[in-house]
Amino acid sequence: MCGRFLLRCPPDNWPSDLLGDSDYGVVFNLPASSAFETRSNISPTQSVLSIVQASAGESRTIQTFRWGLVPRWADDVKIGASMINARSETVELKPSFRHAFAQRRCLIPADGYYEWVKVEDKKQAMLIQRPGQELFCFAGLWERNEKISSRTGEESATHEPLVTCTIITTAANQSMISLHDRMPVVIRPGDYRRWLDPNYRDVAALKSLLAAADEGFFVSKPVGKVSGS
């Protein structure tokens, strides 16, 4: 699964393949660097940065979503707490995720994520990241709920609708299975265009992107207390 992750790399330093697609002439809309805050422990229900594209040929943009997908038909934001992850094996079938999988796919940038393993009588936090600490992108889905306000608890008619997201997971590869039997799906740069294009509807091709990362893609190390947001 993926229940905590970190993002320390500011958008200005993100790889060029995230900044647009020269074939379509799109431009990535970056927020001001001063608005970015390093976050070492991003948790469910908090806001996360996500990359979306309205349609092929249009600009990719950074959006802020609440982590924990709330389906468009739901009446209670609390349902999102159980939907921080979507299983790759059934994501196109589950009522909670199938609409988002069809046309609301996103990339969620990260520098690493955490798992906890039992060591003697304690739980040890393990940081999982690229060998060179490079940025990567989780496969994400997002959804808009018109019934619930982004300011939860207030009338949705007077405020922006709630927008939320989830991270897709798959069976762990052999190098990660000792930490957890599930791991987040990572979308490789060559697949960004297909994944982000809401008009791309080839389910079999999209599902083929939801495989575990190659062996050696991630390395892990024990870390001390995970703190901060």
Burial class (CB in 10 A: 0-12, 13-18, 19+), 61: middle
Torsion of CA 7, 12, 13, 16, to 10 degrees: 110
Number of Cβ within 10 Å of residue 43's Cβ equals: 15
Domain ranges of the chain: 5-222
Q: How far apart are the first and last CA of the chain?
A: 19
Question: What are the backbone angles phi and psi of residue 126, rounded to the nearest 5°?
Answer: -120, 125
Identify the pLDDT of residue 119: 86
**Catalytic entry in 37, 58, 92, 115:** 115
Q: What is the pLDDT of residues 116-126, one digit of tens each?
A: 998 888 899 99
Question: Which CATH number is correct for 5-222, 3.40.50.720, 3.10.129.10, 3.90.1680.10, 3.10.310.10?
Answer: 3.90.1680.10
**Catalytic entry in 2, 106, 137, 165:** 2
Query: Please, are residues 166 and 68 in contact by the beta-carbon 8 Å criterion?
Result: yes
Q: What is the pLDDT of residues 156-168, one digit of tens each?
A: 455 788 999 999 9
Q: Is there a catalytic annotation at residue 115?
A: yes
Identify the pLDDT of residue 27: 47
Q: What is the pLDDT of residues 15-53, one digit of tens each?
A: 888 866 544 444 455 555 456 889 999 999 999 999 998
The whole model's pTM is what?
A: 0.91
Average pLDDT value for the chain: 88
- pLDDT category at 12 given cuts 50, 70, 90 is confident
Identify the pLDDT of residue 222: 94
Place of tokens 């001001």: 32
